Amino acid sequence: MITINRSYNFSNYKKYIADLINLVGPGVIVSVAQIDNGNIAASTTSGALFQYNPLFIVVLSNIFALIFQMLSCKLGVVTGKDLCKLCKERFHPKVSKLIFVLIELSIISGDLSQLIGSAVAMNILFKIPTNIGLVLTIIDCFLVLIFYNNNSLKGVRIFEVLVTILVIATMSLFGIELLQIHISDKFKIIQGLFPHIMDYKEGSFLYSQASIIGSNVMPINLIIGSYVNQVRLRNFDVIKFGKFIPNKPTLHAVNKTLKNSLIELSIALLVAGIFVNGAIVILSGTLFYNNPQAVDADLKGIYIMLCDLVSQFAGTIFAVAILFAGQSASWVGVAASEIVLLGFLDLTVDPWVTKVFTRLLALIPCLIVGLCFGDNGINTVLNLSQVLLSLILPFVAVPLIIFTSDKDIMNVDSMHELEIEQGQEQQDENSRLLGNEEGIVNKDDGYHFENGKLLNIISWAICVLITCLNAFMITTILF
């Protein structure tokens, strides 16, 4: 009798699954910018004006965001440094200071929209006056301070779990919102996924699409994307070598992190970004199309129309969704403020000082406008913050493309890892052959991860397109 050995070794599968779980989180954090209150406002206005036609731009803008985020992730993993540190090291001090100021403005602008969204949601749900709600949002600074620790993998994981819960909750709530409405012609949704050439001849359509692109491809995300894997990189080297390896990450750490991080990033961005923004466009296009009141409606106005046109339940679901979206994006923004200050200024002050200081910079303008002009003034600030984010983006995207195209910057010295392994008392003979374990290695000048020609062309084309849309947006506002 022939016996067949059916025993399987699941240890490798368990290890692979464990590695995947360990890498889940950074992509979700980056995806927060795709579902924040600025996106909600931009997608609602576009749907009210052009029904389902903006769906094509929703998909395209998320692909743009994904390409830039992949560059950002690769830069952080390969160099072991975030975009801010590299700008400080590689550019002239005056250029570096300019980029620092612009990035700080982008963080404050992003914070503005999240503060306003959270305050409006608290006003709707708990009848808390908007100005008091703005002050209450400073509490989340201390929540981030408690759970987010740049040097602790456990602290970072807790922070990622909290943000992931809010992201999943936001997606679920907009899914429930879609179930509350009746779509008479579903084929129009499919048509909306393709470009409508005639629409692009209208200035209002181009302006609307520029706002969607600007709300999806955000400067703060490129900073976060280059940083979120730093703790994991250090942890991989600690596990393999029993100590933290200074300078750049080893090839082992890069290969362990990069591939799975890019996969997780792609899934998180495309699923969260396209689903939530697409759901908002469909919701708005179904309920608010050809409704003049919806075109200039603020978040509270959208809530009122949902209550009138659908149900009180639908309005409440929307309010909870913007609260969750605002809080998740606000937490990420607070963490980003510390990354920027440490990267550009090498500040050694306590983390709570940087977090609270940055939050106050966003809170004070909101309070002044709210006290002087009321809710209408706050809505104007929300719209202005999205314009600023779009204008600042090229100043962050250009350095990112330059750095990821540089062969010297995007280089991992394979011999550095070999020297570390040879310095250990107990060595695995197979691990000396890095090419067998890690991939093809050029032993003369290391392993290169710089952008290929096609990726460079695509990246620069997106950057130029966004810059042109910004120029168009400015002329539309001024003239």
- Structure confidence at residue 220 (pLDDT): 85
- Strand-pairing partners, residue 446, are 442
Cα 211 to Cα 70, 117, 205, 206, 290: the distances in Å are: 22, 17, 10, 9, 19
- Structure confidence at residue 265 (pLDDT): 87
- Structure confidence at residue 212 (pLDDT): 83
Q: Tell me which long-range contacts 96-100 makes (C-beta under 8 A, separation of at least 24).
A: 96/344, 97/344, 98/395, 99/395, 99/396, 99/399, 100/340, 100/344, 100/345
Query: Residue 16 phi/psi, 5° resolution?
Result: -65, -45
Query: So where are the chain's domains?
Result: 18-409+452-478, 411-448
- Give the integer Cα–Cα distance in Å for 375 and 130: 8
Q: Can you give the length of the chain in residues? A: 479
- Give the integer Cα–Cα distance in Å for 216 and 274: 10
Which residues have CB under 8 Å from 345's CB, separation 6+? 100
Question: In this structure, what is the dihedral angle of CA atoms 174, 175, 177, 181, given to the nearest 10 degrees?
Answer: 140
- Give the integer Cα–Cα distance in Å for 35 and 40: 7
- pLDDT per residue as tens, the chain (479 positions): 444 444 445 556 666 666 556 666 778 888 887 888 878 888 888 888 888 999 999 999 999 999 999 999 999 989 888 999 999 999 999 999 999 999 988 888 877 777 888 888 899 999 988 878 877 877 766 666 566 655 666 767 777 788 888 888 889 998 998 988 888 888 999 999 998 777 666 767 777 777 788 778 888 889 988 888 777 776 665 555 555 455 567 777 788 788 878 888 888 888 888 998 899 999 999 988 888 777 667 788 889 888 988 889 989 999 999 888 888 887 787 778 778 888 887 766 666 676 677 667 767 776 776 677 666 666 666 667 777 888 888 999 999 999 999 988 998 876 555 444 544 444 444 333 333 333 334 545 568 889 999 999 999 999 998 888 878 777 776 66
Q: Are 356 and 216 in contact (CB under 8 A)?
A: no
Phi-psi region of 51 (alpha: psi -120 to 50; beta: other; left: phi over 0): left
Q: Which residue has the tokens 């540190």?
A: 85
- How many Cα neighbours within 13 Å face the side chain of 345? 14
- Structure confidence at residue 438 (pLDDT): 36
What are the helix and strand counts (H, E) for the chain? 22, 2
Distance of CA 470 to the CA centre of its chain: 20
- Structure confidence at residue 440 (pLDDT): 37
Which residues have CB under 8 Å from 174's CB, separation 6+? 275, 276, 279, 280, 283, 321
Query: Residue 411 phi/psi, 5° resolution?
Result: -125, 135
CA angle 56, 61, 66 (to 5 degrees): 130
Query: pTM of whole model > 0.75?
Result: yes
- Give the integer Cα–Cα distance in Å for 133 and 3: 71
Q: Which helix (H) or strand (E) holds 178?
A: helix 153-179
Count the Cβ atoms, other than its own, within 10 Å of residue 59.
18
Phi-psi region of 218 (alpha: psi -120 to 50; beta: other; left: phi over 0): beta
The structure tokens listed for 22 are 């360990």
Question: In this structure, what is the dihedral angle of CA atoms 163, 164, 165, 166, given to the nearest 10 degrees?
Answer: 50
Question: Domain 18-409+452-478 classified CATH 1.10.357.10?
Answer: no
Alpha helices (H) along 53-152: 55-79, 83-90, 93-126, 130-136, 139-147
- Structure confidence at residue 250 (pLDDT): 75
Query: Residue 182 phi/psi, 5° resolution?
Result: -110, 125
